Amino acid sequence: MAGYLDIAAHFRNRIASGALAPGQRLPTLREVMAEFDVAQQTAGRAYKVLKAEGLTKATTGGGTVVADPASAIDARVRGWAATGRALSADESSEIVEIGTVSADEPVATRLEVEPGSQVFVRRRVVSRGGVPAHLTSSYYLAEVVAATPELAEPTSTGGSRELAAQRLGARQDRVLEEVTSRQATDDEKTRLGLTGSGPTVVTQVTRTVWLVDGRIVEVAVKVCPGATVLRWSTPLG
């Protein structure tokens, strides 16, 4: 029988592959219960995970639909502006590392700097209902940290990017998310509470966020339990 994380991963994969497009309706909870042979509570928890990740949104009379990536940014901005937090009600965030590091090639490329350049990092574990949900490392250029000295403080409201955009004087405009699966490092397994001594597969989401004036405000690497599999078919001949 599938667990709620398995169901969430199923729909996450379909959204990432384009099989479910922005605005398209997801199955009802009753349909999910029948398809995966689970209780309503399990189906509901899966949908809560997708909503918390900004992948879906609830509509009036239209059920749950796939969110436009820009709408996830808007929701974070509205939540942060209203409450000073961009985290959901059941989420908590613990900072596990703050400092300056040498950017590896993937991060440097997305920040548009040379590999080995010094960049600032905030690494945190976000939990939902007390259970680790993801380990995220957010990377910032020096100019962003200079404008937002709070980034160097060991507190987290989930709204660091929103605060940085405000201090830089430009709203967030677009986000690119790249999804892959790989083996977890020992540190990631410990931080996420993943058991077992053998290889453990995790999903990595690399997110680049631009401001409306074209500047990059943040590159974040989020590591989540479980594997994401993307599938597509291409006609030949």
The whole-number pLDDT of residue 111 equals 97
CA distance 143 to 150: 13
For the chain, the first-to-last Cα distance in angstroms comes to: 40
Q: Which amino acid is at 227?
A: A
* pLDDT surpasses 60 at 173: yes
Q: Are 141 and 134 spatial neighbours (Cβ–Cβ below 8 Å)?
A: no
Q: Are 175 and 216 spatial neighbours (Cβ–Cβ below 8 Å)?
A: no
Whole-Å CA distances, 33 to 4, 56, 96, 105, 193: 11, 18, 37, 43, 28
The whole-number pLDDT of residue 82 equals 66
Q: What is the pTM (predicted TM-score) of this model?
A: 0.67
Dig out the tokens for 31 from the structure: 């349909």
Task: Please report, for the chain, the start and end positions of each structural domain, with discontinuous segments joined by +.
Answer: 1-67, 69-230
- 178 vs 68, higher pLDDT: 178
Q: What mean pLDDT comes out for the span 198-205?
A: 88
The whole-number pLDDT of residue 73 equals 58
Q: Which of 85-89, 90-94, 122-126, 127-131 has the highest mean pLDDT?
A: 122-126
pLDDT in tens, 20-42: 888 899 999 999 999 999 999 99
The whole-number pLDDT of residue 30 equals 93
- Determine the angle formed by the axes of helices 4-17 and 29-36, rounding to 10 degrees: 110
- 16 vs 187, higher pLDDT: 187
CATH architecture assigned to 69-230: 3-Layer(aba) Sandwich (3.40)
Q: Does CATH number 1.10.10.10 belong to domain 1-67?
A: yes
The whole-number pLDDT of residue 39 equals 93
The whole-number pLDDT of residue 117 equals 97
Q: What mean pLDDT comes out for the span 130-151?
A: 94
SS (H, E, C) the chain: CCCHHHHHHHHHHHHHHCCCCCCCECCCHHHHHHHHCCCHHHHHHHHHHHHHCCCEEEECCCEEEECCHHHHHHHHHHHHHHHCCCCCCCEEEEEEEEEEEECCHHHHHHHCCCCCCEEEEEEEEEEECCEEEEEEEEEECHHHHHHCHHHHCCCCCCCHHHHHHHHHCCCEEEEEEEEEEEECCHHHHHHHCCCCCCCCEEEEEEEEEEECCCCEEEEEEEEEECCCCCCCCCCCC
